């Protein structure tokens, strides 16, 4: 998505909301795909049922940590790497979703300084 140049006027409100929704959609998709991968990993490697797999993956993505005991070393290694990955995904998704807001604020300050 192309942002306006510093010499251009501030983006109209309805276009800004569209940009914000687009970034929110992309960020949400990144989190959803990550949750699906985590759910599949817990189901295949730890032998959890689908609900417990989804719960564990979601809790790690949310920064809360795993819920149950992991039965084997393979599932523990997966959980460790998924936890590291989850921390990065949340930071990237949050930055992506907040980028339009930061850009608008900085663009407005730049225009007021002229």
Q: Which domains does the chain have, with CATH numbers?
A: 27-103 (1.10.287)
User: Residue 77 contacts by C-beta under 8 Å, 6 or more apart in sequence?
Assistant: none
pLDDT of the residue at 39: 97
Provide the mean pLDDT of the chain: 90
pLDDT of the residue at 49: 96
Contact 48, 42 (CB under 8 A): yes
Residue predicted with more confidence, 24 or 67: 24
Helix (H/G/I), strand (E/B), else coil: 6:
coil
How many CB atoms are closer than 10 A to CB 55? Answer: 17
- 83, burial (CB in 10 Å: exposed 0-12, middle 13-18, buried 19+): middle
List, for residues 22-65, the tens digit of each pLDDT value. 999 999 999 999 999 999 999 999 999 999 999 999 999 998 88
User: Residue 55 contacts by C-beta under 8 Å, 6 or more apart in sequence?
Assistant: 67
pTM, 2 dp? 0.84
DSSP label at residue 64: S
Residue indicated by tokens 């608008």? 104
pLDDT of the residue at 52: 95
pLDDT of the residue at 8: 77
Contact 89, 38 (CB under 8 A): no
């Amino acid at each position: 998505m192309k942002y306006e140049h510093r010499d251009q006027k501030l983006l109209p409100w309805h276009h800004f909301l569209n940009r914000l929704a687009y970034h929110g959609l992309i960020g949400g998709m990144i989190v959803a795909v990550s949750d699906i991968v985590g759910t599949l990993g817990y189901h295949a490697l730890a032998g959890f049922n689908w609900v417990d797999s989804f719960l564990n993956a979601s809790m790690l993505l949310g920064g809360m940590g795993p819920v149950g005991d992991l039965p084997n070393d393979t599932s523990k290694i997966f959980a460790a790497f998924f936890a590291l990955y989850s921390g990065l995904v949340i930071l990237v998704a949050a930055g992506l979703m907040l980028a339009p807001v930061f850009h608008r604020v900085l663009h407005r300050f730049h225009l007021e300084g002229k």
